[in-house]
Copies of this chain bind each other. A is one copy, B any other.
Amino acid sequence: MSKSEQKRQEIIETAEQRFRDYGYNKTTMAEIADDLKMSAANLYRFFKSKQDIAAACAERCMGERVDCLSRLVDEKHMTAGEKLLELVLEDVRYTHERAKNEPKVNELIDIVTRERKEIVLSKVESQCALIAEILKQGNESGEFDVDDVMISARTIYSSLTLFEVPIFLPLFTQQQFEEMAKNLVALLIKGLRKR
Protein backbone atom coordinates (compact mmCIF):
# COMPACT_ATOMS: atom_id res chain seq x y z
CA MET A 1 0.00 0.00 0.00
CA SER A 2 1.41 3.37 -1.01
CA LYS A 3 2.31 5.89 1.68
CA SER A 4 -0.48 8.19 0.59
CA GLU A 5 -2.99 5.34 0.42
CA GLN A 6 -1.93 4.43 3.95
CA LYS A 7 -2.73 7.94 5.10
CA ARG A 8 -6.09 7.91 3.38
CA GLN A 9 -7.01 4.85 5.39
CA GLU A 10 -5.91 6.53 8.62
CA ILE A 11 -8.09 9.51 7.84
CA ILE A 12 -11.08 7.28 7.10
CA GLU A 13 -10.67 5.40 10.36
CA THR A 14 -10.22 8.52 12.45
CA ALA A 15 -13.16 10.26 10.84
CA GLU A 16 -15.36 7.19 11.17
CA GLN A 17 -14.70 7.02 14.89
CA ARG A 18 -15.73 10.64 15.30
CA PHE A 19 -18.78 10.20 13.09
CA ARG A 20 -19.83 7.26 15.26
CA ASP A 21 -19.30 9.09 18.55
CA TYR A 22 -20.51 12.57 17.74
CA GLY A 23 -22.31 12.33 14.39
CA TYR A 24 -21.36 13.72 10.99
CA ASN A 25 -22.51 17.28 11.57
CA LYS A 26 -20.88 17.63 14.95
CA THR A 27 -17.42 16.59 13.83
CA THR A 28 -15.31 19.25 12.19
CA MET A 29 -12.50 18.92 9.72
CA ALA A 30 -10.31 20.64 12.29
CA GLU A 31 -11.04 17.92 14.85
CA ILE A 32 -10.26 15.11 12.43
CA ALA A 33 -7.05 16.88 11.52
CA ASP A 34 -6.12 17.40 15.17
CA ASP A 35 -6.57 13.70 15.90
CA LEU A 36 -4.05 13.01 13.16
CA LYS A 37 -1.68 15.83 14.17
CA MET A 38 -2.08 17.63 10.92
CA SER A 39 -3.76 20.79 9.65
CA ALA A 40 -7.28 20.84 8.29
CA ALA A 41 -5.92 22.14 5.00
CA ASN A 42 -3.82 19.02 4.63
CA LEU A 43 -6.88 16.78 4.70
CA TYR A 44 -7.77 18.27 1.35
CA ARG A 45 -4.71 16.73 -0.21
CA PHE A 46 -6.36 13.34 0.42
CA PHE A 47 -10.05 14.08 0.06
CA LYS A 48 -11.84 16.64 -2.05
CA SER A 49 -14.40 17.36 0.68
CA LYS A 50 -15.86 16.29 4.01
CA GLN A 51 -18.62 14.52 2.13
CA ASP A 52 -16.01 12.51 0.29
CA ILE A 53 -14.64 11.33 3.62
CA ALA A 54 -18.13 10.32 4.67
CA ALA A 55 -18.58 8.48 1.41
CA ALA A 56 -15.32 6.60 1.94
CA CYS A 57 -16.45 5.62 5.44
CA ALA A 58 -19.74 4.37 4.09
CA GLU A 59 -18.02 2.34 1.42
CA ARG A 60 -15.71 0.76 3.95
CA CYS A 61 -18.65 -0.20 6.20
CA MET A 62 -20.55 -1.64 3.30
CA GLY A 63 -17.53 -3.60 2.22
CA GLU A 64 -17.23 -5.23 5.64
CA ARG A 65 -20.93 -5.95 5.59
CA VAL A 66 -20.79 -7.67 2.23
CA ASP A 67 -17.78 -9.72 3.36
CA CYS A 68 -19.76 -10.89 6.36
CA LEU A 69 -22.79 -11.88 4.31
CA SER A 70 -20.56 -13.51 1.70
CA ARG A 71 -19.36 -15.94 4.32
CA LEU A 72 -22.96 -16.88 4.98
CA VAL A 73 -23.55 -17.47 1.27
CA ASP A 74 -20.45 -19.70 1.12
CA GLU A 75 -21.59 -21.86 4.07
CA LYS A 76 -21.35 -25.52 3.21
CA HIS A 77 -24.04 -27.03 5.39
CA MET A 78 -27.10 -24.90 4.72
CA THR A 79 -29.77 -25.18 2.07
CA ALA A 80 -30.35 -22.24 -0.25
CA GLY A 81 -33.65 -21.61 1.50
CA GLU A 82 -31.98 -21.48 4.88
CA LYS A 83 -29.36 -19.11 3.53
CA LEU A 84 -31.96 -16.78 2.11
CA LEU A 85 -33.80 -16.69 5.41
CA GLU A 86 -30.60 -16.06 7.35
CA LEU A 87 -29.52 -13.34 4.95
CA VAL A 88 -32.76 -11.47 5.46
CA LEU A 89 -32.91 -11.98 9.21
CA GLU A 90 -29.29 -10.96 9.58
CA ASP A 91 -30.17 -7.81 7.68
CA VAL A 92 -33.14 -7.03 9.88
CA ARG A 93 -31.07 -7.54 13.00
CA TYR A 94 -28.18 -5.47 11.71
CA THR A 95 -30.44 -2.55 10.85
CA HIS A 96 -31.95 -2.64 14.32
CA GLU A 97 -28.75 -3.13 16.26
CA ARG A 98 -27.09 -0.29 14.47
CA ALA A 99 -29.99 2.04 15.11
CA LYS A 100 -29.93 1.08 18.77
CA ASN A 101 -26.19 1.09 19.44
CA GLU A 102 -24.87 3.63 16.95
CA PRO A 103 -27.70 6.11 16.50
CA LYS A 104 -25.34 8.79 15.19
CA VAL A 105 -24.50 6.66 12.19
CA ASN A 106 -27.91 7.38 10.73
CA GLU A 107 -26.73 10.91 10.09
CA LEU A 108 -23.99 9.48 7.92
CA ILE A 109 -26.48 7.31 6.08
CA ASP A 110 -28.69 10.31 5.46
CA ILE A 111 -25.86 12.30 3.92
CA VAL A 112 -24.75 9.46 1.71
CA THR A 113 -28.22 8.50 0.51
CA ARG A 114 -28.99 12.13 -0.26
CA GLU A 115 -25.73 13.25 -1.79
CA ARG A 116 -24.10 10.08 -3.09
CA LYS A 117 -26.76 7.92 -4.63
CA GLU A 118 -24.16 5.88 -6.58
CA ILE A 119 -22.90 4.44 -3.33
CA VAL A 120 -26.34 3.28 -2.28
CA LEU A 121 -26.91 1.85 -5.73
CA SER A 122 -23.67 -0.11 -5.53
CA LYS A 123 -24.76 -1.43 -2.14
CA VAL A 124 -28.02 -2.58 -3.71
CA GLU A 125 -26.06 -4.25 -6.50
CA SER A 126 -23.87 -6.15 -4.04
CA GLN A 127 -26.86 -7.30 -2.05
CA CYS A 128 -28.65 -8.45 -5.19
CA ALA A 129 -25.53 -10.29 -6.28
CA LEU A 130 -25.49 -12.18 -2.98
CA ILE A 131 -29.14 -13.14 -3.37
CA ALA A 132 -28.49 -14.16 -6.96
CA GLU A 133 -25.65 -16.42 -5.79
CA ILE A 134 -28.00 -18.11 -3.33
CA LEU A 135 -30.58 -18.61 -6.06
CA LYS A 136 -27.95 -20.12 -8.33
CA GLN A 137 -26.93 -22.54 -5.60
CA GLY A 138 -30.59 -23.41 -5.11
CA ASN A 139 -30.97 -24.12 -8.81
CA GLU A 140 -27.88 -26.34 -8.81
CA SER A 141 -29.00 -28.33 -5.79
CA GLY A 142 -32.44 -28.81 -7.35
CA GLU A 143 -34.04 -26.95 -4.48
CA PHE A 144 -35.16 -24.01 -6.62
CA ASP A 145 -36.32 -23.61 -10.16
CA VAL A 146 -35.48 -20.04 -11.02
CA ASP A 147 -35.49 -18.98 -14.62
CA ASP A 148 -33.60 -15.67 -14.60
CA VAL A 149 -31.48 -15.58 -11.46
CA MET A 150 -30.60 -11.89 -11.64
CA ILE A 151 -34.15 -10.69 -12.22
CA SER A 152 -35.44 -12.86 -9.40
CA ALA A 153 -32.73 -11.57 -7.09
CA ARG A 154 -33.71 -7.99 -7.84
CA THR A 155 -37.35 -8.84 -7.36
CA ILE A 156 -36.67 -10.39 -3.99
CA TYR A 157 -34.53 -7.46 -2.97
CA SER A 158 -37.29 -5.03 -3.93
CA SER A 159 -39.64 -6.88 -1.60
CA LEU A 160 -37.26 -6.36 1.33
CA THR A 161 -37.51 -2.57 1.34
CA LEU A 162 -39.45 -2.45 4.60
CA PHE A 163 -36.57 -4.22 6.34
CA GLU A 164 -33.75 -2.24 4.79
CA VAL A 165 -34.72 1.35 5.39
CA PRO A 166 -34.30 2.89 8.85
CA ILE A 167 -37.28 5.25 8.53
CA PHE A 168 -39.66 2.35 9.11
CA LEU A 169 -38.01 1.28 12.37
CA PRO A 170 -40.42 3.18 14.64
CA LEU A 171 -43.41 1.38 13.12
CA PHE A 172 -42.78 -2.04 14.64
CA THR A 173 -40.66 -3.81 17.21
CA GLN A 174 -37.65 -5.82 16.15
CA GLN A 175 -39.56 -8.97 16.99
CA GLN A 176 -42.43 -7.96 14.73
CA PHE A 177 -40.00 -7.20 11.92
CA GLU A 178 -38.36 -10.60 12.28
CA GLU A 179 -41.76 -12.27 12.24
CA MET A 180 -42.75 -10.41 9.08
CA ALA A 181 -39.42 -11.23 7.46
CA LYS A 182 -39.87 -14.92 8.19
CA ASN A 183 -43.34 -14.95 6.71
CA LEU A 184 -42.16 -13.13 3.62
CA VAL A 185 -39.18 -15.40 3.00
CA ALA A 186 -41.40 -18.45 3.48
CA LEU A 187 -43.78 -17.15 0.84
CA LEU A 188 -40.98 -16.21 -1.56
CA ILE A 189 -39.36 -19.62 -1.20
CA LYS A 190 -42.62 -21.34 -2.01
CA GLY A 191 -42.64 -19.30 -5.19
CA LEU A 192 -39.05 -20.16 -6.07
CA ARG A 193 -39.27 -23.85 -5.33
CA LYS A 194 -39.05 -26.60 -7.89
CA ARG A 195 -42.19 -28.72 -8.17
Contact = CB atoms under 8 A, between A and B. Distances in A.
A109 interface: no
Interface residues of A, number: 23
Interface of A: 151-152, 154-156, 158-162, 165, 167-168, 180, 183-184, 187-192, 195
A146 to B, nearest CB: 9
Given A161-B161, A161-B168, A151 B183 contact: yes
B191 A152 contact: no
A6 to B, nearest CB: 36
Contacts of A168: 161
B183 A187 contact: no
A76 B66 CA distance: 48
